Every structure is written in C-alpha cells, then in structure tokens.
Amino acid sequence: MASTLTKPGTKVTPKVFLFNVLNGVAIAIIAGLIPNAILGEILKALKPHFPIFGELLLITTSIQFAVPLLVGALVAHRFNFSPLGIAVVAASSFIGSGAAVFKNGTWVITGIGDLINTMFAAALASFLILLIGERFGSLNLIILPTFVAVLTGFITLHTLPYVKMVTTAIGHMINTFTEMQPVIMCVLIALVYSIIIISPISTVATSMAIGISGLAAGSASIGITAAEAALVFGTWGVNRLGVPLTIFLGGVKMMLPNMVRYPIMLLPITTTAAISGFVASFIGIGGTKESAGFGIIGLVGPINAFRFLEGDNVIIKLILVAIAFFVVPFTVAFISHFIYMRVLKIYNKDIFKFLG
C-alpha cells in the first residue's frame, strides 16, 4: 500500500480506533454469515432430493467458520495496514476467537468462536502494530508475526473464559424470565433478544447455551424480527437498497457501529420488540433452542412457530404466523419511527446511515 498507519509516531484517536474495529466487524459479519442465513434453510429442504444441494449447504456453512479471520482482516484494512499487518491481525483474531479447540490430539473447528473476544483480539493486535510501527524496518517480517500474533493469542486465550461469562450471565438472566408470567416473559425476552442481535453477542450461541424452548424461544425470534423491522425502516431512504435488504436477510449486526455512536436507535427497536412480544404471547408463538436465535432469517423462526401452533387449520396457522412475524413487527416499527422522528423529533434518519 502506498501509505499505512503503522509508521512511527502515528496517532489514532480512541474514537477512530473504536470505529475502525466496529466497522471492520460489521462488514466481516455480513460476508461470513449472510450466505448461510439466506440459503441455509432452502438447501436443507432440497438436500434429501438432490445431493448437490448437500454440497452447497456444506459450503455456505463452512463460510461462517471464516468469520474470525474476516474480522481481523477487515479491521486491519480499516487501519490501512500493510498486507503483513492484515495477515497478522487476521491470525490473531482467529486465535482469540477460540473457534479452534485441541481435542483428543486433533484441532477441531467448533464454530465462529466468541465474537466479543475476536473483536478484542483484533483491537489488541492492531494496537500493537500501531505501537511498533515500522521502527524495525525489514525485521518487521519476523517481529510482527512472531511478537504480535503470539502475544495477542496468549493474552486473548486467557481472557476468553472471562469474556464467555458475559454470555453466561445473560443466559442466566433470560432463564429467570422463563419463570415469570407468560406475557411478561415474552415481552422481556423479546426486548433482550432485540438488543443482543445488534450487539457482538451471538443470539444463536446464547440460545443453545441456555436451552431456551417453547414460548420463550418464540419470543426470542420475535425480538430479533422486531430489530430487523425497525432497522429496515430506519435505514430505508438514507442508504442504498442493499443496506435495508441485507438487514432484512439477517445482517443486523452490520449496524453495530451506528448503535454504539447513536444508542437512541435502540428506542424504536425495543418499542417494536415489546409490543411484538406482547402480541406473540397471545398468539402462542413457540420455537426451539435451535430456532430461537434466527428470527425471520432464513424463515427459521416462522417455520418452527408454525410447527408449534395448535390446531389443524393450515390457513389459520399461516395467517397467525404472518401476523406475528411480519404484520405486527413491521407495522409497529413504521409507526414507532413516525412518532419518534416526526412527532416527538427525538432523532432523525441520519443516525441510520451505514457507517461501515
């Protein structure tokens, strides 16, 4: 590259540093998770009939495993690092994610790892590269991979168990909600999941960890859907069509930088989630721990909700699912934006301009 930010004396403000990390993560999540989010359920349905769809399913699933590497590479790209710097940050992020585990004498890829620790690893490696800069000239070819990658990996592997405690704590909180009256439980779980989906925490990992099921799992899906609905309408008109479309298809976390810069955007999201969860509790929207973390992504939530609805009338069940997952969230999201922006003038559309 013609110029980098790794030269001695380079100064990066904390604000620029933070948003370089967040923006890199936002793009990485889109690139790594969207293919399976869009095609996963379709390919699963076609797999038993045509073997080629089984191969395509393996490909779209395996793309997800590259997320830690993509996070590191794109964060480094935001800093305009040299190719060596990009490789080092990518390697450090992969190690820090905890996605690779040594079991029974074999390295096993367990998933995408912990996204929060992945971000920390990318940030730490980037900081060390900025600190070292180009002070060692050609020796950087040895020092950066050896010193930065190994030191970052060592530190983040030791922080990983503690970072995972964040997910565990949230899981315990959600479990306490399941002991409450059903309507209150549905509203609270929808609220929590509408916030988690736009954070670095994985809704899928949280759901699997706590074994959420039934009405609680259905409410989790509704909360995620509410966040998608609020962000689709929020981003519409201030971004190109690809942004709201990507969010609708599952790329909610791409708005993480916006949420950090403008926390007020959580207002329409949580409003939509609370009302949608309330309605869903009366409809009886259910789910499983496997479906709870997806919402309408890949139609996982609606398909499982349909299975759990009582009754034999297919048309009525389809209508109820459509009301819970599409009519209510998107209607409430539209009205919420209108009230908060046009009537109360609490925020304006510009907060939804994609910062990635």
Average pLDDT of the chain?
A: 88
Question: CA–CA separation, 161 vs 166, rounded Å?
Answer: 9
pTM: 0.77
Q: How wide is the angle at C-alpha 201 spanned by C-alphas 94 and 294, nearest 5°?
A: 105
Is the confidence at residue 33, as pLDDT, over 90?
A: no
Span 124-138, pLDDT tens digits: 999 999 988 777 777
Question: CA–CA separation, 319 vs 237, rounded Å?
Answer: 29
Residue of 4, 34, 44 lying closest to 134 (CA atoms): 4
Span 45-81, pLDDT tens digits: 889 999 899 999 999 888 889 989 999 999 999 998 9
Residue 166, SS3 per DSSP: helix
**pLDDT value, residue 160:** 93
**pLDDT value, residue 34:** 76
Is the confidence at residue 1, as pLDDT, over 50?
A: no
**Of the ranges 60-69, 97-106, 153-162, which is most confident?**
153-162
Residue of 63, 167, 76 lying closest to 119 (CA atoms): 76
**pLDDT value, residue 9:** 52
Question: CA–CA separation, 84 vs 96, rounded Å?
Answer: 18
Residue of 309, 260, 247 lying closest to 284 (CA atoms): 309
Average pLDDT over residues 95-104: 87
Confidence at 6, pLDDT banded by 50, 70, 90: low
**pLDDT value, residue 271:** 97
Residue 109, SS3 per DSSP: strand
Span 280-321, pLDDT tens digits: 999 999 988 777 888 887 788 898 898 888 888 899 999 999
Is the confidence at residue 339, as pLDDT, over 70?
A: yes
**pLDDT value, residue 315:** 93
**pLDDT value, residue 5:** 56
Residue 106, SS3 per DSSP: strand
DSSP state of 236: B
Residue of 154, 151, 148, 195 lying closest to 173 (CA atoms): 195
Residue 102, SS3 per DSSP: strand
DSSP state of 291: T
List all residues 6 or more positions away from 100 whose beta carbon is below 8 Å from its beta carbon: 94, 107, 108, 109, 110
Interhelix angle 150-177/115-132, nearest 10 degrees: 150
